[in-house]
Amino acid sequence: MSRRLTETRLVVASHNPGKVREIGELIARFGLEAISAGDLGLCEPEETEPTFTGNALIKAHAAAKGANMPALADDSGLCVDALNGEPGVYSARWAGPAKDFRVAMQLVHDGLEKVHAKDAAAHFVCALALAWPDGHAEVFEGKVHGHLVWPPRGTLGFGYDPMFVPEGFQITFGEMPPAQKHAMSHRARAFAKFVEACLG
């Protein structure tokens, strides 16, 4: 049985403002306050695992220990079928030191052109890890499938959102109002499992 979260404040183990904002919006309705690892001056640990779950756990444990309070970490990325699942766990790294996702999206597009991919099927994965200072952790995973478009469209969302159209939609995550994205994104699906297990 999953451990229940009884605290009212959580560290969001991320220095990505878009991710912190999105998680903060998701947890606010449960009376939880999100504090970013960046605001607490916590260092970003090196992500050395080959899986989303492994990297989410690294970040959650580091933040929980550093802040001495429960920490929620998300490791997520874009997996492109024709690129053998890349960029995958390296999704953020493809954006370079400046975290410029225009560069990352261009790399994805160039990769698809190089392999002459006619099918731009892709999916987002989110692994959400909740860790406590005593070392206990819970992990939840969510996915959303869709396809890629070029050029990117929309200024909402963050990361690869402007080039990803989820199944059943004609607009990208970059064109989608936040409330609509929150209802069906990979992060929302992982978050729903977290809510059911630890807050419900």
Q: Which residues are catalytic?
A: 75
Backbone φ, ψ for residue 165 (5° rounding): -105, 115
Q: Could you tell me how many residues make up the chain?
A: 200
Two structure tokens written together for 75: 């490791």
Cα 106 to its chain centre, rounded Å, is 20
Q: How far is CA 102 from CA 85, 105, 127, 161, 181, in A?
A: 19, 5, 24, 11, 20
C-beta separation of 90 from 142 below 8 A: no
DSSP 132: -
